[in-house]
Each structure stands twice: as structure tokens, then as C-alpha cells.
Structure 1
Amino acid sequence: MVAMTDTQQLQFRYMDDVDVSEVIANERSAYSHPWSEAVLRECLGGISECWVATMDKTIVGHGIISHVLDEGHLLNLCIGKSWQGQGLSHQFLIFLMSRLRELGVEKLFLEVRVSNEIAVALYKKHGFTQIGLRKAYYPAGSDREDAIVMAREIDSEIAQA
């Protein structure tokens, strides 16, 4: 794990084409079934907002959100493996929810692997509740894994977790 020092601050900016190789590296370090470069580039060129989290100009994570009218979707929230365990996903999630609120989003949805207990705990801590289950949603080796569907209202209580 790369430890964050007291003087380092997590910063957020839009993802750019030149960031894709670093984003893919983080994605591969963090997930057993990472997003492909093609899917990431499709998000960059589409209606989604793609963000990176940086520490001293190093990309430590990325987040992808979309919205239609007053509903938002957290498509991806990833912190590179060597940066995990320092509360960065907590900070990034608050930033992304605040951004969606700026865009007029009132309700945020996401899917998370049932096996990703750390992420499920993070989302619950931030007020998300399970509203459904998508059977065999994610690839898992030669099998499939269910996704928990979660949602929460986006209101003034964003940073209260």
C-alpha cells in the first residue's frame, strides 16, 4: 500500500484520453474482472461524466457517473489497489454525489457485486439501501455473480456519513 501523507490532498478532475492507460492499470489492480479499454473510451465519448482522483498528479482512482433528469447512476468507483484502505473511496463518493446534486439529481442508483463486502459497507455507510438483486449480472471466472442494486436520495446529507 502506498500511504498518503498529511500534506497530500485528493483532487478530482475530468478524465482525459491521456489518462486511460493509468486508469486501466488501476482498474486491473483493483478488480478481478476490470472494465476494458474500449468500454472506458466509450464512456469518455458518451454522455457519462468520467472523473479521476489524483494525489500529487498520480491517478489513484476513477469514477464514472451518468444521469437522466433527476436520476443518477454510479457506474464505476475504483481506487487502485496500492491506494486502498485510506478512505479515498469515501472522499471520492462524496465528491461524485455532490457533483450529481449540482446536476439536479435527486436519487442515485448503483450495482455492486455481492462478494464486494467492503464496497457494500461503504455504500451502506453513505445511506444507500438495497432495493433489488440482479441475478448473474457480473462475470466471475467461468460463472456469473449477482449484483446488489442500491439507491439513496441525494440531499443535503451527502457528507454526513
Structure 2
Amino acid sequence: SHLCDLIHVDICCLCVCFGDGNLHFSCVSLKVCPGRVVSIMTWEGTEPQLKSVLLNSHTDVVPVYQEHWKYDAFKAFKDAKGDIYARGSQDMKCVTIQYIQAVRKLKAQGWKPARTVHLMFVPGEIFPSWVFATFLHSCSLCFFLNNLLKK
């Protein structure tokens, strides 16, 4: 599972940074502990002295107990109602995709943010707070997800 998470995060970083050739983000992958990588993509703002924005999501998936699944957890299955059954198909994957698609569309329109925007993919929702605190202290944030930081 840890190896899959590591590979998945690096693939996310590669796809977003280089996938279609038009995002041109700086991308950093940080090994925070054995088998755990945090990928951070940065879209430099036109006014980098402003506090930045951080959009965070996690890329891990929970273990599978096949006896609790109606369909094979490792095969994406769409039923007649349009419901999709697949390991990790909900959770934060949809949010990660929404962040990436929003950035793609804004960049395609030629829009540039005044503030620097960081997209951060962490290896799990239960994430060591000291790792996260280290990153937060290294950049000046005005916005993290939907919580305003007071400074």
C-alpha cells in the first residue's frame, strides 16, 4: 500500500506538471518518511509578495475487504443507475481532480493569479502534524482549503 501511494503521488505530480505540456508548474516531491511522499505543485502568482493559497488533498486509499463489496473493488464498475463502484473512487480523488481541472481551465483562458497557488498532495488523511507544520511555516499563507488563517 505504501509503495502504491508513493508511486501514485509521483505520477500525479508528473501528469499535472508535464502531462499536456501547458501547466508548467514547479513541482517538488518530498519524502517525509519511508514510503511517504508529499508532492507540491506551485503556480507562481503575478504578485508573489502576497500571501499564498494552498489547496490540499490526499491520494491514499483505504484497505479493501472484498466481502464488504457488491462488485470487485479493483475493477471500476458502473451500474445501470450510473453509480460507480471502485476502490478510492470518492474520498479526495474528486477534489484533487477538481483542483487540477480548475487550474487547467484558468491557464487555458490566460488567467494568472495574483497570489501564488500551491497544490499539495499528501499520502494520507492521517498525516503527521509536524510534517504539515514544517511546510506551513515555510510559506506565507492567507488561505488553506476553506479556512482563513488569521495573521
Q: Structure 1 length as normaliser, TM-score? A: 0.27
Larger of the two Rg values belongs to structure: 2
Higher RCO (CA-CA < 8 Å; seq separation 6+): 2
Q: Structure 2 length as normaliser, TM-score? A: 0.29
Q: Which has the higher strand share?
A: 1
